[in-house]
Structure 1
Amino acid sequence: MALRATLDFLLYDWLQVQSLTARGRFADHSRETFDAVLDTCERIAREKYAPFNRTVDTQEPRLDGEKVVLPECTRAARLAYAESGMLGAAQDYAIGGMQLPYVLEAAANSFFAAASISISAHLLTTGSASALMAHGSALQKEVFAHNEFNGRWAGTMCLSEPQAGSSLSDITTRATPDGDDPLGPRYRLTGNKMWISAGDHEITENIVHLVLAKIPGDDGRLPAGVKGISLFIVPKHLVDVHGALTGERNDVALAGLNHKLGWRGTTNTLLNFGEGRYPVRGAAGAIGYRVGEPGRGLQYMFHMMNEARIAIGMAATMLGLAGYYASLDYARSRPQGRPMEAGGKDATQPQVRIIEHADVKRMLLAQKAYGEGALALNLYCARLVDEQHTGGPQAADEARLLLEVLTPIAKSWPSEFCLEANSLAIQIHGGYGYTREFPVEQYWRDNRLNMIHEGTHGIQALDLLGRKVRMEGGRGLQLLAGRIEACIEAAAGTELADAAAQLAGALRQALQATEAAWATGRPAEALANAVPYMQALGHVVLAWMWLDVAQATLRADAQSPANVGRRAAARYFFHYELPRIGAWLRVVRERDMTCAEMDEAGF
Structure 2
Amino acid sequence: MRRDLQFLLFEWLDVVSLTEHPYFAEHSAETFTGLLELSERLAGDYFAPHNRLGDECEPRVGEDGRVVLPDEVGAAVSAFAKADLIAAQFDESVGGMQLPLSVFQACMAWFQSANTATTGYAFLTIAAANLLTAHGSPEQVDAWVRPMLAGQLFGTMCLSEPEAGSSLADVATRAARASDGTYRVTGTKMWISAGDHELGNIVHLVLARTPGGPPGVKGLSLFAVPKVLADGRRNDVALVGLNHKMGTRGTTNTLLSFEGAVGYLIGDEHRGLQYMFHMMNEARIGVGLVAAAVGQAGYRKSLEYATVRTQGRLLTARRTDSRPVALVAHPDVRRMLLAQKSYVEGSLALVLRCAHLVDRLKTADDEDVRQLLEILTPVAKSWPSQWCLEANSLAIQVHGGYGYSREFDVEQHYRDNRLNPIHEGTHGIQALDLVGRKVVMSDGAAFRAFTDAVHATLARADGLAEFTQPLSRVLGELERVTALITEPEHAAVGLANASPYLEAFGHVALAWTWLDLVIAAHGKDGAFYDGKRAAARYFYRYELPAASSRLDLVARHDRTTLDLDPQCL
Take 2:120 and 2:486, find their aligned partners in 1: how far apart are those partners? 39
Q: How does 1:374-389 map to 2 (within 5 A)?
A: 374-389=347-362
Q: What residue is the counterpart of 2:536 in the other structure?
A: 570
Q: What residue is the counterpart of 1:46 in the other structure?
A: 44
Residue identity in the other structure for 2:186: T
SS at match of 1:453: coil
Decide which of 282, 300, 314 is 1:339's aligned counterpart: 314
Q: What residue is the counterpart of 1:242 in the other structure?
A: none
Residue identity in the other structure for 1:427: Q
Q: CA deviation at 1:560?
A: 1.1
Q: Is 1:258 aligned to residue 243 of structure 2?
A: yes
Take 2:394 and 2:157, find their aligned partners in 1: how far apart are those partners? 33
Take 1:51 and 1:150, find their aligned partners in 2: how far apart are those partners? 24
Q: CA deviation at 1:520?
A: 4.6
CA displacement, residues 421-449 of structure 1 (integer Å, 9 cap, x when unaligned): 00000000000000011100000000000
CA displacement, residues 163-184 of structure 1 (integer Å, 9 cap, x when unaligned): 111100000000001134xxxx
CA displacement, residues 554-599 of structure 1 (integer Å, 9 cap, x when unaligned): 15xx111100000000000000000001211112111101011111
Residue identity in the other structure for 1:369: S
Q: Is there any run of 5+ residues in structure 2 with no aligned partner, and where?
A: none
Q: What residue is the counterpart of 2:125 in the other structure?
A: 125
Q: Is 1:237 aligned to residue 228 of structure 2?
A: yes
Take 1:577 and 1:374, find their aligned partners in 2: how far apart are those partners? 14
Residue identity in the other structure for 1:349: S
Take 2:184 and 2:489, find their aligned partners in 1: how far apart are those partners? 44
Take 1:389 and 1:598, find their aligned partners in 2: how far apart are those partners? 48
Q: CA deviation at 1:517?
A: 1.4
Take 1:514 and 1:410, find their aligned partners in 2: how far apart are those partners? 19
Q: Is there any run of 5+ residues in structure 1 with no aligned partner, and where?
A: 240-245, 275-284
Decide which of 319, 322, 335 is 1:362's aligned counterpart: 335
Q: What residue is the counterpart of 2:202 in the other structure?
A: 207
Take 2:436 and 2:179, find their aligned partners in 1: how far apart are those partners? 41
Take 2:195 and 2:488, find their aligned partners in 1: how far apart are those partners? 45
Residue identity in the other structure for 2:296: L
SS at match of 1:192: strand
Asked if structure 2 preserves the Cα contact closer than 8 Å seen for 1:316 and 1:415, the reply is yes
Take 2:26 and 2:484, find their aligned partners in 1: how far apart are those partners? 50
Asked if structure 1 preserves the Cα contact closer than 8 Å seen for 2:493 and 2:559, the reply is yes
Asked if structure 1 preserves the Cα contact closer than 8 Å seen for 2:298 and 2:391, the reply is yes
TM-score for the superposition, normalised by structure 2? 0.98
Q: Is 1:330 aligned to residue 300 of structure 2?
A: no
CA displacement, residues 42-87 of structure 1 (integer Å, 9 cap, x when unaligned): 1000000011100000000000131000000000000000001011
Q: What residue is the counterpart of 1:406 in the other structure?
A: 376
Q: What residue is the counterpart of 1:192 in the other structure?
A: 188
Take 2:146 and 2:488, find their aligned partners in 1: how far apart are those partners? 51
Q: Is 1:420 aligned to residue 395 of structure 2?
A: no
Q: Is 1:295 aligned to residue 259 of structure 2?
A: no
Residue identity in the other structure for 2:465: A
Residue identity in the other structure for 1:29: H
Residue identity in the other structure for 2:262: I
SS at match of 1:247: coil
Take 2:506 and 2:40, find their aligned partners in 1: how far apart are those partners? 30
Q: CA deviation at 1:247?
A: 1.9
Take 1:172 and 1:517, find their aligned partners in 2: how far apart are those partners? 34
Q: How does 1:268-307 map to 2 (within 5 A)?
A: 268-274=253-259, 285-307=260-282
Q: Is 1:25 aligned to residue 16 of structure 2?
A: no
Asked if structure 2 preserves the Cα contact closer than 8 Å seen for 1:215 and 1:223, the reply is no
Q: CA deviation at 1:88?
A: 1.1
Q: What residue is the counterpart of 1:146 in the other structure?
A: 146
SS at match of 1:270: strand
Decide which of 201, 218, 227 is 2:218's aligned counterpart: 227
Take 1:13 and 1:469, find their aligned partners in 2: how far apart are those partners? 31
Take 2:491 and 2:86, find their aligned partners in 1: how far apart are those partners? 42
Take 2:137 and 2:490, find their aligned partners in 1: how far apart are those partners? 42
Q: Which moved more, 1:91-100 or 1:505-514?
A: 91-100
TM-score for the superposition, normalised by structure 1? 0.93
Take 1:374 and 1:92, find their aligned partners in 2: how far apart are those partners? 28
Asked if structure 2 preserves the Cα contact closer than 8 Å seen for 1:216 and 1:223, the reply is no
Q: CA deviation at 1:347?
A: 2.9
Asked if structure 2 preserves the Cα contact closer than 8 Å seen for 1:161 and 1:193, the reply is yes
SS at match of 1:527: helix
Asked if structure 2 preserves the Cα contact closer than 8 Å seen for 1:198 and 1:269, the reply is yes
Q: Which moved more, 1:413-422 or 1:89-98?
A: 89-98
SS at match of 2:203: strand
Asked if structure 1 preserves the Cα contact closer than 8 Å seen for 2:161 and 2:171, the reply is yes
Decide which of 456, 463, 476 is 1:508's aligned counterpart: 476
Asked if structure 2 preserves the Cα contact closer than 8 Å seen for 1:516 and 1:590, the reply is no
Q: CA deviation at 1:519?
A: 3.0
Take 2:218 and 2:488, find their aligned partners in 1: how far apart are those partners? 28
Take 1:71 and 1:528, find their aligned partners in 2: how far apart are those partners? 45
Residue identity in the other structure for 2:329: E
Asked if structure 1 preserves the Cα contact closer than 8 Å seen for 2:120 and 2:194, the reply is yes
SS at match of 2:189: strand
How many residues are paired up?
567
Asked if structure 1 preserves the Cα contact closer than 8 Å seen for 2:242 and 2:252, the reply is yes
Take 2:490 and 2:267, find their aligned partners in 1: how far apart are those partners? 36
CA displacement, residues 467-523 of structure 1 (integer Å, 9 cap, x when unaligned): 1011000011101101100111111x22x2121111001101111111111335343
Q: What residue is the counterpart of 2:506 in the other structure?
A: 538
Q: CA deviation at 1:94?
A: 3.1
Q: Is 1:438 aligned to residue 408 of structure 2?
A: yes
Asked if structure 1 preserves the Cα contact closer than 8 Å seen for 2:94 and 2:145, the reply is no
Decide which of 218, 231, 252 is 1:267's aligned counterpart: 252
Asked if structure 2 preserves the Cα contact closer than 8 Å seen for 1:173 and 1:213, the reply is yes
Take 1:79 and 1:356, find their aligned partners in 2: how far apart are those partners? 44
SS at match of 1:596: coil
Q: CA deviation at 1:132?
A: 0.5
Decide which of 499, 524, 539 is 2:492's aligned counterpart: 524
Take 1:522 and 1:270, find their aligned partners in 2: how far apart are those partners? 40
Q: Is 1:175 aligned to residue 175 of structure 2?
A: yes
SS at match of 1:318: helix
Q: CA deviation at 1:90?
A: 1.2
Q: What residue is the counterpart of 1:8 in the other structure?
A: 6
SS at match of 1:176: strand
Residue identity in the other structure for 2:95: G
Asked if structure 2 preserves the Cα contact closer than 8 Å seen for 1:61 and 1:70, the reply is yes
Q: What residue is the counterpart of 2:161 in the other structure?
A: 161
Decide which of 580, 583, 587 is 2:546's aligned counterpart: 580
Q: What residue is the counterpart of 2:73 in the other structure?
A: 74
Q: Is 1:600 aligned to residue 566 of structure 2?
A: yes
Q: How does 1:29-108 map to 2 (within 5 A)?
A: 29-64=27-62, 65-108=64-107
Q: Which moved more, 1:262-271 or 1:85-94?
A: 85-94
Q: Is 1:590 aligned to residue 569 of structure 2?
A: no
SS at match of 1:248: coil
Take 1:376 and 1:92, find their aligned partners in 2: how far apart are those partners? 25
Asked if structure 1 preserves the Cα contact closer than 8 Å seen for 2:133 and 2:141, the reply is yes
The two structures, once aligned, show a CA RMSD in angstroms of: 1.0
Q: What residue is the counterpart of 1:279 in the other structure?
A: none
Asked if structure 2 preserves the Cα contact closer than 8 Å seen for 1:488 and 1:501, the reply is no
